[in-house]
Structure 1
Amino acid sequence: MTEQPRRTVATYETHRDAERAVDHLSDQGFPVVPVVPVERVAIIGQAVRLVEQVVGRTDHGPAALHGAASGALPGALIGRLFGLADWTAAGGSPPVRSMQPSRYDVEGDEAVADEAVRLLGGLHATGTGGRPART
């Protein structure tokens, strides 16, 4: 499968708003050309950052007991090796990691991007949020 050149048609602060935009395009029968609807659209997370939330401090004893109880012997040994290195790097505090984009771009294939911008113009007027791309 070859990917077509794409262009940003709108930008949103939340993934939920970007999904609403794609749903709106689908509801409008996008694209007009006879292909499977919305397969010519993608949601792309931009400016991704790694966030580590420290949830507490764990000593080596309770952490080792938890690791041994949570898996089979090979899993516990490998997990403990990687886990021990992680505890050292985190200063003994177990973090919860997540990737968080700062914005979500809705992109459309170049051939249908202008139509997507036009259709999303009505969605922005209803106050859903987001910025349509300039054509």
Structure 2
Amino acid sequence: MQPQHSQGVQRAVVASYGSYEEAQRAVDRLSDKGFPVERVAIVARDLEFVEQVTGRRGFWQALGSGAGSGAVVGVLFGFVFGLLNVIAPLVSAVVVALYGLVFGAVVGGIVGALSHALSGGRRDFSSVGGMRAGSYDVMADAEVAGEARRLLGE
């Protein structure tokens, strides 16, 4: 089967690779040899979502991460609003940012702890998720695919 490009152009697989980096290097080689790479696409196949568990997430971790997030938001808002002071904007920005840090940390900690408590023990872990592909196909418009295969074979 020849997949279609978004504008109705037929595409053909030129080469398949086990990693995205290898597919990028192939497109780089085509570019270096003067091939019109705007007619090329890298297509990921056999996608799967992988969620790596990084640790337990208890009450104190929820409180701490909520406080940290709230503190960052509080500092940013405080600094911006402090700059709006006409008389001493820089001094005011620093002072209001410090108040924002404290207020944001308190509110963020409460929200984090409350949301953890209300979850009822579901999802008591932290994780990082991402997509992973089984292979990567370098595809080119059908009328130039043969030339791309020839250049990659050199």
Q: With structure 2 as the length reference, what TM-score do the two structures score?
A: 0.61
Per-residue deviation, 1:69? 2.7
CA offsets per residue over residues 24-66 of structure 1, 9 Å max, x none? Answer: 1111111xxxxxx200001111101111111110103321331
Going from structure 1 to structure 2, the CA distance change for 1:56 and 1:10 (only over 3 Å counts) comes to same
Is 1:46 matched up with 2:51?
Answer: no
Query: By percentage of residues, which structure has more helix?
Result: 2
Please give the alpha-carbon distance, in whole angstroms, between the structure 1 residues aligned to 2:64 and 2:138: 46
1:95 aligned residue (104, 110, 127): 127
Letter in 1 for 2:57: T
Counterpart position of 2:12? 7
- Larger Rg belongs to: 2
Please show how residues 51-62 of structure 1 align to structure 2 within 5 Å.
51-62=50-61
Aligned length: 109
Describe the SS at the equivalent of 1:117: helix
- Aligned partners of 1:43 and 1:60: how far apart in 2? 44
Once the two structures are superposed, what CA deviation does each residue of 1:65-94 show, in whole Å capped at 9, x if it has no partner? 312430447xx669x859x76x72x4x111
- The residue number in structure 2 matching 1:115 is 147
Answer yes or no: is 1:66 the counterpart of 2:72. Answer: no
Q: Distance in 2 between matches of 1:66 and 1:47?
A: 35
Offset at 1:3? 4.9
Percent sequence identity over aligned pairs: 43
Distance 2:128 2:17 in 1: 26
**What value does the CA root-mean-square deviation take over the aligned residues?**
2.6
Unaligned runs of 5+ in 2: 1-5, 74-103
Q: SS at the partner of 1:2? A: coil
C-alpha distance in structure 1 between counterparts of 2:125 and 2:8, whole Å: 43
- Distance across 1 between alignment mates of 2:153 and 2:66: 52
Q: Output the amino acid matched with 1:9.
A: V
Residue aligning to 1:129: none
Greater RCO structure (CA 8 Å; 6+ sep): 1
SS at match of 1:4: coil
TM-score with structure 1 length normalisation?
0.69
The one-letter amino acid paired with 1:15 is Y
In structure 1, stretches of 5+ residues that fail to align are 31-36, 123-135
